[in-house]
């Protein structure tokens, strides 16, 4: 089923051009004044647009993968953590390891222990009487 917006054959070229700057599909759709549903409908209806969309995905991936290499080769600052989180979110992986709720340690059983201390020849003190007993 086609989207609500009409397809223009120039979109195929424009999609690859926008992706060459690192834009993802949702950003490309926004630039074209379309939605992701429109892009999917157009790619199903027009084989040339489907090819262009695949080329655009490759161009986007290449742009993002090139960023760390260019920063290193030109001795520019590079925020690897931000880059990694963008990549993780875009490709469906969490940007950080999920935190597990801290499990409360199980209460250890109270062990009643009796020590037998050998007699060393000294007189033992008498225990103080316990209150109430």
pTM: 0.61
* Higher pLDDT among residues 35 and 104, named by residue: 35
What tokens does 60 get? 């986007």
Sign of CA dihedral 45, 47, 52, 56: positive
List, for residues 64-118, the tens digit of each pLDDT value.
Answer: 888 888 888 888 888 888 888 888 877 776 555 566 666 677 777 777 887 777 7
State yes or no: pLDDT of 130 exceeds 70: yes
Average pLDDT taken over every residue of the chain: 83
Cα separation, 65 vs 84, in Å, equals 10
Q: Which residues contact 42 (CB under 8 A, 6 or more apart)?
A: 2, 3, 7, 11, 34, 49
């Amino acid at each position: 089923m086609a989207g609500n917006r009409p397809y223009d054959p120039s979109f195929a070229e424009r999609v690859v051009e926008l992706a060459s700057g690192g834009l993802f599909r949702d950003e490309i759709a926004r630039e074209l004044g379309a939605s992701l549903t429109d892009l999917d409908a157009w790619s199903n209806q027009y084989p040339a647009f489907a090819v262009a969309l695949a080329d655009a995905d490759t161009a986007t991936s290449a742009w993002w993968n090139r960023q760390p290499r260019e920063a290193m080769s030109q001795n520019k600052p590079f925020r690897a953590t931000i880059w990694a989180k963008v990549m993780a979110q875009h490709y469906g992986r969490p940007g950080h390891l999920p935190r597990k709720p801290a499990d409360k340690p199980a209460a250890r059983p109270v062990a009643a222990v009796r020590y037998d201390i050998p007699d060393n020849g000294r007189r033992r003190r008498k225990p103080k009487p316990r209150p109430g007993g």
